[in-house]
Amino acid sequence: MPPYCLCTPLMPLGESVWGFHEPEEQCDKAVTFRGLCPFDPEKQRIRRVLTDMFPLRSRLLPVLRLYLLGFKVLLLQLFTRAFRLPEMPRQDGKVAIVTGGGRGIGYEVVRHMARLGVHVIIGGRDEREGLAAVRRICEEYKEAKVEFKKLDLASLQSVHQFVQRFKQQGLPLNILINNAGVMLVPERRTEDGFEQHFGVNYLGHFLLTWLLLDTLKDSGRCGHFSRVVNVSSSAHRIGEVRLNDLNSRQCYSAHAAYCRSKLAQLVFSSHLQQELQHGGFPVTSCAVDPGMVDTALYCHLWKPLHLAHSALAPLLLKTPVQGAATVLHAALSPALEGEYGEGYWSNGCREMTTPPTFDSQLKLSLWETSLQLLGLQ
């Protein structure tokens, strides 16, 4: 299959071109969206030269775009009523896995599902934090079935071990919530050599979902589909997937790397739903944007912004309970049974996403590249 390139030529802030092409020497056209200029390989060569000449621009632009987007999202949140989760029916007999369920949004998701009778398994890196979360929930709800299993998404071996331990229990799996994530961490690599945002936010969850698909399929049935919920972010709207630089080795920017990982997660979620639907399996996949929520995700902000965030977050951002509402809606609502495939949910409503999530060639290319990186193909 020819390599895929998703590119953003040098254009005014906020504009972009999305396209795929043959190897550069064979390239003569591209698919474009929003009526913008066609792809030009010569323009891409110029872009790469300019990137090398002006690395500061390549690092500064993603910062400006992400904070501008954050400001817009914050304004929207301030003037929009937060989605309130309606009362959900009991979920006795169901089993769920929630990554990053020891704190923040993940903790509130686990807590609510445990109250409804779901047997919840928290997958997390911090054992002390995870066990403390289990203890608090079990103290609050005496009949709760909650347990913790070690899961480090920055280690492919840890993901394999987590799945192996889970399958040894012989439990079904009705709900998988890929919630854990990192944001704006300094440049570093995972245990397997992948860029941290790409490895944790996307590739680790890709592998986890892939290894659990057989159990999800076996656990679903007509009228009671298993569900995969990927917790994404509005940051995907300014991201781009570069299959020739998934590890962000060219002019590294933590802000750009985060946005790319969230777009990759969304593209994966959409393609997974297509695969499941075409195969006729009783499993659905969707992505959710919880909004800007007051959690520890912002701990790597630039120092002055971090101080401002600490002071203003309780006033401006959603609480973890509010952030968890849309995640729980996607995971539990009977109204969405079997019909929310390829959905992207924000504040309790289905929303349109960016053009790359509708690009079948990109979705397939990213899917196959991910399988190759993980040694699954």
Angle at 178 between CA 176 and CA 183, to 5 degrees: 170
How far, in Å, CA of 184 to CA of 187, rounded?
A: 9
Reported as half-sphere exposure (CB side, CA atoms, 13 A), residue 142 has a value of 0
- Longest CA–CA span in the chain (Å) reads 66
Q: Quickly count: other Cβ atoms within 10 Å of residue 111's Cβ.
A: 21
340 is catalytic: no
Residue of 15, 9, 63 lying closest to 256 (CA atoms): 63
Contact criterion met (CB below 8 Å) for 347 and 330? no
CA–CA distances in Å: residue 130 to residues 106, 164, 345? 11, 19, 27
CA–CA distances in Å: residue 126 to residues 112, 129, 239, 285? 21, 5, 29, 27
From the candidates 258, 298, 340, 344, give the one annotated as an active-site residue. Answer: 258
The conformation of residue 90, written as its DSSP 8-state character, comes to: P
CA–CA distances in Å: residue 366 to residues 195, 213, 264, 359, 362? 16, 18, 8, 11, 6
How far, in Å, CA of 256 to CA of 239, rounded?
A: 7
Q: What is the DSSP string of 126-194?
A: -HHHHHHHHHHHHHHSTT-EEEEEE--TT-HHHHHHHHHHHHHTT----EEEE-----SPPS-B-TTS-
Angle at 158 between CA 366 and CA 183, to 5 degrees: 60
Q: Quickly count: other Cβ atoms within 10 Å of residue 15's Cβ.
A: 11
Tokens of 76: 């929207």
Tokens of 116: 């409804």
Q: Which residues are catalytic?
A: 258
